[in-house]
Structure 1
Amino acid sequence: MPKILIVGGGYAGFYTALKLEKWLRHGEAEVTVVDPLPYMTYQPFLPEVAAGSIEPRHAVVALRKHLKKTRVVTAKVTNISHATKTATITPAVGEPWEETYDQIVVTAGSVSRTFPIPGVADEAIGLKSIEEAIDIRDRVLANFEKASNLPAGPERDRLLTVVVVGGGFAGIETFGELRSLASSLLKSYPSISMDDTHFHLIEAMGRIMPEVSLPTSHWVLKNLAQRGAEVHLDTQLKSAVGGVIELSTGESFESDLIIWTAGVMANPVLRDTDLPTEERGRLRVQPDLRVINDDGIVADAWGAGDVSAVPDLTGKGVGGFCVPNAQHAVRQGKVMAKNIVAVMRGESPAEYRHDNLGAVAGLGLGYGAFQSGKIAITGLPAWAMHRGYHGLAIPMWERKIRVFGNWAFNLVLGRDNVGISARETPRAYFEAFASRPRAAAAPAPEASSTLPTPDKAPDAPVYANPAQ
């Protein structure tokens, strides 16, 4: 039976496997998905997870639960040799092994792209994973708890200062959602006022959200300013050493939470492969999602999602390629599954083309922005559109129901503002009070042969020290 190996279980990989299960005949091929995590993360929900509007587990989709006919391997692919059609699989526990395949599908996604700015690698956190979103939420809540016990001063300001680097959709949504979370916390902390909280977004360009029109981006800036959040345009982060933020404008302040959303890059797994890549490290593919090199099509190799440079046939993509977002990755996965089946059956594959109908962003409870051509909608209607679209877009109906149910409960009961920061050291409480065996008593020293033997009865104990 032909073997199809899918590298990466994100949007594109998950939907490729899901649709292959639907369209492949019984026994036509064996499909394997390899990913370090046992779930795919719906990344558009990460800002709301960080703000406590969505339960973290509701923003991920378990691979094994929904891929019934697919072999799921929780491990890393550390090398791909397409010349020999083998991939090295490295699990978290155990020895690596070589996996053979007949066709390979590379959908390994992207990772945060950073620059060698002092302090960023040591102090900042990204927002590409559910784990990062949970940590951000717990950090905000824990910092409010700590700050409420402190008098006004530098340490209190540091705890109540949040910095987001990057003014694209991910950065702006994260910034707006966290501002909304902080505002909702104020009523629970009488000792902290709105003026005590400080939110800074740093953007190197002269505008935010290039996917929307300039007037719409100006509305977003005005809305954030009215909510006590400051956006620094035409500004670069120069240093973050020790949490001290130094900007290219000369401004400086301290922060205990620095969030990096200033771009992504293709998963570095492609560095250990003989598959062709372009100058930005992405897999080279043509519009039908087959891998290509200078000589043409690379047989039995496919790519989609953020890890691939997929041509945008609408002409609207940056540099002529599809932008790395969930909309494209989901649709590319579906098209790729159809094309794989078509090629296996001797049919012609179809080209991927998607004309984006618009962009929508959530900026916190009740605030949003939507842009489609010249049509712009802002405020509460756009926020409702954002929730409606993404609530329906997350894969699988059981997840859609959980998400909409979560929102409905929050509407009635309010946002759940409980942080569990101790989850990072869950055994600390047990260890603090756990009983341990007493240390064994040190053995008595042996009698010295140089000491005289006392005049005692034959069966009386003899001590090395006469004082005993």
Structure 2
Amino acid sequence: MVKERARILVVGGGYVGMYTALRLQQRMKQELRRGEVEITVVTPDPYMTYQPFLPEAAAGAISPRHVVVPLRRVLDQCHIVVGEATSIDHAHRTATLTTLATEETGGTEKLTYDELVLAPGSVARTLPIPGLIDYGIGFKTIEEAIGLRNHVLEQMDIASSTRDPEIRDAALTFVFVGGGYAGTEALGELEDMARYATRYYHNVKPEDMKWILVEASDRILPEVGEEMGRYTVAELRRRNIQVLLGTRLESCADRVAVLSDGQRFPTRTLVWTAGVKPHPILAATDLPRNDRGRLRCTAQLTVDGVDHAWAAGDAAAVPDVTAAEPGKETPPNAQHAVRQAKLLGDNIAHRLRGEPLETYAHRYAGSVASLGLHKGVAQVYGRKLKGWPAWFMHRTYHVSRMPTFNRKARVLAEWTLAGLFKREIVSLGSLEHPRAEFELAAGGKHPLDPNINPKGSS
């Protein structure tokens, strides 16, 4: 039994934030009912995004609403605050927040707590490349994934309707920077979708499109091993996708991708997936960080040397106790994040009840990656798979990890229907500007008017 009322603050509603709060909710039902424990989750979105399904959502294989889990439904005994923590003074157990309400007034809100769980995740790591901030497209959120799908189909519409060969060539050139999971899977799924969509365009053929993957290192998908990485490169090149290894993007100003090997590609689509970095909130705390900006943690998922502070996932540097080499840390991926979150919830419950803490120990099982419909690579417990078996394992693994039976059933139903009917190739880009028609009717300028928005919808 908890001796005093405990206020637990969870910063972040992603993998770690949601699963930690869910575990606490399950472990401390009686305490929550008696009012001895209060769990507050601060999150910029009222839902958790299952990021491994973003490429399939972008390709139209899964509806966007089925890739996200509504936090208020899952965490029905927690207090959900839609907003962001801007700073944390752990010495005084105080967090400064901006919420939807305070944004209206320009103020902030103070929240006090007893136990802190920092799980803000990560943000895209960008470089000072000319033109990147103007024309780059990210791929970390469901909004970006659906926006990219609409954008790709829009470029095919532009290419189909223009008589200018330069505009057509730029519209049909798609450059992806970063050969990790996000970039490789997004490119594979979207190329598959676009190739299918060409059958409905009378003057756009698959060979008219250029798909380019730019990777600064000498391999892609390092998580699946060197052999499967080479197979992935060969598979992508077999589909006429250019895979440029040991190559960097040096500029994308004026919608021209300039690479370090001297190649230049006029393009209207540049997707940036070249890594992530710790969330900025970590730098706005008084908690210890390592040289990469992640919180220094123990194997029990406490912040090293600090009482009442916990972390896991992308924000935490957690020692890997299963590694042969001392000092090694667990990689910041979904496989570790979900497992760490469950143990983190258990350990907070142990601490509140005066029980000993458990140690996080999980040996990495392997990785799976989708390269489009019926195509994939996998390395699981040392076994290597490719093609249809790897693609099937990818789907099976991730649907098993999808939170809630509701979302599992909906995803399975969509996959089943997709096997019976043709792909959807509808672009709903106008959803990004819902007031455009009303403003035009009211006599104002259209938001896509190039005189006021030279970048247009891209």
Give the 3 Å change call, closer, same or farther, for CA 260–31 of structure 1 in structure 2: same
SS at match of 1:265: strand
| 1:239 paired to 2:251 | yes
8 Å CA contact 1:312–1:320 kept in 2: the answer is: yes
Per the alignment, residue 449 of structure 2 pairs with none
8 Å CA contact 1:147–1:159 kept in 2: the answer is: yes
1:357 aligns with one of 365, 369, 391? 365
Q: After the TM superposition, which of the residue ranges 322-331 and 13-22 deviates more from structure 2?
A: 322-331
| 1:110 paired to 2:114 | no
1:170 aligns with one of 164, 173, 182? 182
8 Å CA contact 1:243–1:255 kept in 2: the answer is: yes
8 Å CA contact 1:216–1:376 kept in 2: the answer is: yes
SS at match of 1:186: helix
User: Where in structure 2 are the equivalents of 1:251-330 lying within 5 Å?
Assistant: 251-292=263-304, 297-315=305-323, 320-330=328-338
Deviation at 1:96, TM superposition (A): 1.6
| 1:8 paired to 2:12 | yes
1:376 aligns with one of 373, 384, 403? 384
2:96 aligns with one of 85, 88, 101? 88
**TM-score of the aligned structures, taking structure 1 as reference length:** 0.90
Q: Distance in 2 between matches of 1:428 and 1:298?
A: 51
Deviation at 1:339, TM superposition (A): 0.3
Q: Which runs of 5+ in 1 are unaligned?
A: 437-468
SS at match of 1:180: helix
Q: Distance in 1 between matches of 2:324 and 2:254?
A: 41
Deviation at 1:36, TM superposition (A): 1.0
SS at match of 1:44: helix
User: Where in structure 2 are the equivalents of 1:297-446 lying within 5 Å?
Assistant: 297-315=305-323, 320-434=328-442
Give the 3 Å change call, closer, same or farther, for CA 316–112 of structure 1 in structure 2: farther
8 Å CA contact 2:313–2:332 kept in 1: the answer is: yes
Per the alignment, residue 22 of structure 2 pairs with 18
SS at match of 1:363: strand
Q: Distance in 2 between matches of 1:42 and 1:213?
A: 24
Q: Distance in 2 between matches of 1:381 and 1:316?
A: 31
Superposed CA RMSD: 1.6
Q: After the TM superposition, which of the residue ranges 170-179 and 313-322 deviates more from structure 2?
A: 313-322
Per the alignment, residue 136 of structure 1 pairs with 148
Q: Distance in 2 between matches of 1:4 and 1:341?
A: 11
Which amino acid letter does the alignment assign opposite residue 246 of structure 2?
A: D
8 Å CA contact 2:90–2:287 kept in 1: the answer is: yes
Per the alignment, residue 454 of structure 2 pairs with none
Q: Which runs of 5+ in 2 are unaligned?
A: 445-458
Percent identity over paired residues: 45
Deviation at 1:432, TM superposition (A): 2.6
2:205 aligns with one of 175, 186, 193? 193
For residues 40-81 of structure 1, give each alpha carbon's deviation from its aligned partner in whole angstroms, at most 9, with x where no partner exists. 111111111111111111111111011011000001111100
For residues 77-109 of structure 1, give each alpha carbon's deviation from its aligned partner in whole angstroms, at most 9, with x where no partner exists. 111001100101111332321101011000010
Larger Rg: 1
8 Å CA contact 1:4–1:103 kept in 2: the answer is: yes
1:121 aligns with one of 115, 119, 133? 133
Q: Distance in 2 between matches of 1:9 and 1:32?
A: 11
Q: Distance in 2 between matches of 1:213 and 1:270?
A: 32
Per the alignment, residue 454 of structure 1 pairs with none
8 Å CA contact 2:9–2:115 kept in 1: the answer is: yes
Q: After the TM superposition, which of the residue ranges 406-415 and 75-84 deviates more from structure 2?
A: 406-415
Which amino acid letter does the alignment assign opposite residue 373 of structure 2?
A: L
Per the alignment, residue 45 of structure 2 pairs with 37
Q: Distance in 2 between matches of 1:61 and 1:160?
A: 34
8 Å CA contact 1:410–1:416 kept in 2: the answer is: no
Give the 3 Å change call, closer, same or farther, for CA 316–67 of structure 1 in structure 2: farther
Deviation at 1:121, TM superposition (A): 1.6
SS at match of 2:161: coil
Q: Distance in 1 between matches of 2:427 and 2:327?
A: 42
**TM-score of the aligned structures, taking structure 2 as reference length:** 0.92
Which amino acid letter does the alignment assign opposite residue 330 of structure 1?
A: V
Q: Distance in 1 between matches of 2:366 and 2:148?
A: 29
Equivalences, count: 432
